[in-house]
Amino acid sequence: MSNPVSSDRRRFLSRVALGVAALPLLRMAPAQAADLPHLSPDDPTAKALGYTNDASKIDAKKETAFKAGSQCSKCALFQPATASGDWAGCGAFPGKAVNKNGWCRAFAAKA
């Protein structure tokens, strides 16, 4: 038969340890676009994916992947929860904010 005090103490200590381990996670807030640098079309990754800040200026004949009406704000990779003005985080460009009116070849229409 186990001692109930020992069992309670063990449970308490394990919960304290779990809480201490979780503290750093509580401090991690999602980055806001205001905290993220704006993605420049000159960035090597942006160039590789054909990123532009203004999708309305894309020549659809030259950029065959572009579909009229496509823009970052309509993309599944766009992170509106991080938005600050016209800029928000993007899954294709970690640590950078993209313009909501922009576009790149990683565009994935929202379902």
2 is a domain residue = no
37 is a domain residue = yes
CB count in 10 Å sphere of residue 49:
18
20 is a domain residue = no
- The answer to whether 18 and 68 have CB atoms below 8 angstroms apart is no
94 is a domain residue = yes
Predicted confidence (pLDDT) per residue in 41-95, tens digit: 999 999 999 999 999 999 999 999 999 999 999 999 999 999 999 999 999 999 9
- CATH assignment of the domain containing 47: 4.10.490.10
User: pLDDT grade, residue 22 (50/70/90)?
Assistant: low
- The answer to whether 38 and 91 have CB atoms below 8 angstroms apart is no
25 is a domain residue = no
Enter the pTM of the model.
0.69
35 is a domain residue = yes
76 is a domain residue = yes
Q: What's the domain range around 88?
A: 30-99
60 is a domain residue = yes
Per the structure, the count of domains in the chain is 1
Spatial separation of the C-alpha atoms in residues 77 and 46, rounded to whole Å: 14
Indicate the SS3 state at residue 89: strand
